[in-house]
A and B are shown apart, each in its own frame.
Chain A
Amino acid sequence: MSIRGGPALGGIQSAQDQADDAALQADAQLADAARGAGGDGRWRRRLVSVTVAAALVALWAIVAALRVFGRAELPTPLRVVHDFVHAVVQGYGGHSLLAQAQISVERVVVGFIAAAFLGVVVGMFMAIIPVVHDAIDPMLQFLRPIPPLAFIPLLVTWFGIGELPKVLLIFFCTLPIVILNTLSGVRGTQKSRLRVAQCLGASRAQTLRHVILPSVLPEVFTGMRVGLGVSWTCLVAAEMVAASRGLGWMVLQAGHYLQSGMIFVAIITIGVVGFLMDFALRLIEQRVVPWKGKA
């Protein structure tokens, strides 16, 4: 979901768009549910998606075959498949496509998990202890409008071009999103849920553990999913500037040598891997918060 937005300029503002996306998707799912979990409606909608995708590929094939653009500008689908096989079997830039994807995934996963963890903890503390909120909030508000790309030169200056600056960039892109979602989750905890616990004699600690924590889980997951998308956006940006491996690096490298087929291969791989990770997160979400959107 991250790739549609192009480069990471203002990755965090685009978080809003992505949240909207997620909401739209939820609406669509809701519409499905409203129709009675209909296998029918679902298949019809899948059919629409697949048809449109197929039509786009066909259009692409025709435009490429007609040579509207030069071969270097627009590769044919067949060319892309060829390059894909090449990248998988022979590799590109000394590593197979799988290895390139693996290094990117590792960077994202490390930065993302660290940010998700810390984000939930910091968000909870900010929501519960006013002093913590007042200490951290101005920083968040200050950092929010700065495009993550702007930090790359600094990170490279400070930390070189190893793994650390990339992971840190992802971490700092994702952190505010998770924090802010957790914060709004706690703030949005229904008053009546809190009051029910209070008049059943819950202590502050019990209210936190048994009411607030489970209540914010749905929003935490929303934050994590948006954050994951942003992580990918940041990663590709980071790899474009200071890396010698990874999917983002592949895009840039192939661009240098006008290997448009390989650019397509890298972009499509980024999209697919990003989608798969979001899908995995969604599966976890369904397990952990089955009530999301229902109550």
Chain B
Amino acid sequence: MIQIEGVRKVFPGRAGNPPTVALEEMHTQIEDSQFITVVGPSGCGKTTLLNIIAGFEAPTAGSVLVDGQAVMGPAADRAVVFQQPSLYPWLNVRNNVSFGLTLKHGRRGVDHKRVDEILEIMGLSQFARHAPYELSGGMQQRVAIARALVVQPKILLMDEPFGALDAQTRGDMQAFLLQLWRRLRPTVLFITHDVEEAILLGDRVLVMTPRPGRLAEEITVELERPREYAMVLTDGFTVHKRQILRVLRPDQTELHAG
């Protein structure tokens, strides 16, 4: 369980600029194995929130607890997938994926079966020996996800992981991710600025206000699982979408929905 308790983040202003309040009084709680998505306007503090949960940055006030323990820094129970794949170009695809296992068990102690399995699931088996820069953007992002998942983290933090992909690849990747999540059941915090993606993937959508970011609304998604793309056409989906857009773009939704 992740508890976010009164988290506030202020970045000090540099060179005479006023300080930036990135997050203001965030409170929420995430149960194990839940799939949480976060949407909000650009600059509202989504990445900041993820960085604090990951332990890359300390909150100015408040705290994040994982299973009752305060987060003090990054650790192997919380894997992160960034918007950019950030693969290591000096390692081939396979060694990128097994990087976390190598750190933990040494080169000899790597569980090759587990690596093979995840390469297979990700459809990367044929590219195991390729260099990362020889892969397409979508494949690179799959390698990054495989690298995060192979250590079987309890928590998977994803910062707009599909943001740079085209619509087609993006749809494939969403399906992939849901399939993986069903098998491994990590707790997922998935940041996106695509409202449809947020509804389609999440058990619960956290909608944030413009900066300083606050929780505007938490929406429990009432769509059955397994999800599929066709659900965007259902009434239930539209209701959720309208709920979210009303928060994100109050003026515009009235026009469309009115």
B191 within 8 A of A: no
Contact residues, B93-142 vs A (CB, 8 A): 99-100, 102-104, 131-133
Specify which chain A residues have a CB less than 8 angstroms from the CB of B74 in the assembled complex: 195, 198-199
Specify which chain A residues have a CB less than 8 angstroms from the CB of B89 in the assembled complex: 291, 294-295
Across the A-B interface, how many residue pairs have beta carbons closer than 8 Å?
67
B151 touches A195 (CB 8 A): no
B133 touches A195 (CB 8 A): no
Given contacts A291-B89, A291-B131, A295-B89, contact A199 B79 (CB under 8 A): yes
Q: Which of B12-20, B80-88, B210-218, B226-234 contacts A (4 or more CB under 8 A)?
A: B80-88
B88 touches A294 (CB 8 A): no
B103 touches A202 (CB 8 A): yes
A41 within 8 A of B: no
A201 touches B131 (CB 8 A): no
A141 within 8 A of B: no
B88 touches A214 (CB 8 A): yes
B86, closest chain A residue (CB): A192
Which single member of B54, B99, B131, B132 contacts A195 (CB below 8 Å)? B54
A16 within 8 A of B: no
Q: How far is the CA of A202 from the CA of B75 in the complex (A)?
A: 8
Q: How far is the CA of A71 from the CA of B130 in the complex (A)?
A: 61
A196 touches B84 (CB 8 A): no
Given contacts A190-B86, A199-B75, A214-B88, contact A295 B80 (CB under 8 A): no
Which single member of B78, B90, B102 contacts A214 (CB below 8 Å)? B90
B88 touches A193 (CB 8 A): yes
Q: How big is the A interface, by class? A: 20 to 34
Specify which chain B residues have a CB less than 8 angstroms from the CB of A199 in the assembled complex: 54-55, 74-76, 78-80
A179-200 contact mask (Cβ, 8 Å, vs B): 1 or 0: 0000000000010110111111
Which single member of A197, A289, A295 contacts B133 (CB below 8 Å)? A295
Contact residues, A278-295 vs B (CB, 8 A): 289-291, 294-295
Q: How many whole Å from A121's CB to the nearest CB in chain B? A: 20
Q: How far is the CA of A295 from the CA of B134 in the complex (A)?
A: 10
Specify which chain B residues have a CB less than 8 angstroms from the CB of A211 in the assembled complex: 88
Given contacts A192-B82, A290-B131, A294-B133, contact A197 B103 (CB under 8 A): yes
Specify which chain A residues have a CB less than 8 angstroms from the CB of B86 in the assembled complex: 190, 192-193, 195-196
Specify which chain A residues have a CB less than 8 angstroms from the CB of B103 in the assembled complex: 197, 200-202, 206, 210
Specify which chain B residues have a CB less than 8 angstroms from the CB of A195 in the assembled complex: 54, 56, 74, 80, 82, 86
A200 touches B99 (CB 8 A): yes
Q: How far is the CA of A192 from the CA of B161 in the complex (A)?
A: 13
Specify which chain A residues have a CB less than 8 angstroms from the CB of B79 in the assembled complex: 199-200
B147 within 8 A of A: yes
Specify which chain B residues have a CB less than 8 angstroms from the CB of A290 in the assembled complex: 131
B151 touches A200 (CB 8 A): yes
A294, closest chain B residue (CB): B133
Q: How far is the CA of A177 from the CA of B76 in the complex (A)?
A: 38
A295 touches B132 (CB 8 A): yes
B151-194 contact mask (Cβ, 8 Å, vs A): 1 or 0: 10000000000000000000000000000000000000000000
Given contacts A199-B54, A200-B103, contact A291 B76 (CB under 8 A): no
Specify which chain B residues have a CB less than 8 angstroms from the CB of A291 in the assembled complex: 89-90, 131, 133
Specify which chain B residues have a CB less than 8 angstroms from the CB of A197 in the assembled complex: 99, 103
Q: How far is the CA of A44 from the CA of B100 in the complex (A)?
A: 47
Q: How far is the CA of A134 from the CA of B1 in the complex (A)?
A: 44
Pick from A201, A289, A290 the residue with the most CB of B within 10 Å.
A201
Specify which chain A residues have a CB less than 8 angstroms from the CB of B55 in the assembled complex: 198-199
Contact residues, B35-72 vs A (CB, 8 A): 54-56
Q: How far is the CA of A192 from the CA of B99 in the complex (A)?
A: 15
Q: How far is the CA of A290 from the CA of B130 in the complex (A)?
A: 13
B76 touches A200 (CB 8 A): yes
What are 26 A-B pairs with beta-carbon distances under 8 A? Answer: A190-B86, A192-B82, A193-B86, A193-B88, A195-B80, A195-B82, A195-B86, A196-B86, A196-B147, A197-B103, A198-B73, A199-B74, A199-B75, A199-B78, A199-B80, A200-B147, A200-B151, A201-B103, A201-B104, A210-B103, A217-B90, A289-B90, A291-B90, A291-B133, A295-B87, A295-B133
User: 18 additional contacts, CB 8 Å, given A199-B79, A200-B79, A295-B133?
Assistant: A192-B84, A195-B54, A195-B82, A196-B82, A196-B99, A197-B103, A199-B76, A199-B78, A202-B103, A206-B103, A210-B99, A217-B90, A289-B90, A290-B131, A291-B90, A294-B133, A295-B89, A295-B131
Q: Give 7 closest A-B pairs by Cβ, nearest first.
A: A201-B76, A295-B89, A291-B89, A200-B100, A192-B86, A198-B74, A199-B74
Interface residues of B (CB under 8 A from A): 54-56, 73-76, 78-80, 82, 84, 86-90, 99-100, 102-104, 131-133, 147, 151
